[in-house]
Amino acid sequence: GLERCQKSLNDYLDSKRNAFPRFFFISDDELLSILGSAEPSAIQEHMIKMFDNISSLRLIKVSDTVTQAQAMISAEKEEM
């Protein structure tokens, strides 16, 4: 039963990585912490691993249920 559960979890993580290939740059544990959090800011600590020299996102709350990324911020504080 445990092997089947592990295979299902790996298949789930692979499907998320195939949908967003930048997830291949982070570990399974890091991806689970992002996917398991309802808080959009959970991705902030992993940005530098997924995007070269991007340290964070500027997130704005559009409504009670929608948060949008407004800018990507480099380690040198340049904004895109």
Q: What are the sequence ranges of the domains in the chain?
A: 1-74
Q: What 3-state class would DSSP assign to 21?
A: helix
Q: Are 67 and 58 in contact (CB under 8 A)?
A: no
Cα gap 80→66, rounded to integer Å: 21
pLDDT score for 47 = 93
Q: For residue 70, name the pLDDT band (cuts at 50, 70, 90).
A: very high
Quick: pLDDT tens for 18-63.
Answer: 999 999 999 999 999 999 998 999 999 999 999 999 999 999 999 9
**60-67 contact pairs (CB < 8 A, 24+):** 67/40
The tokens of 47 are what?
């940005």
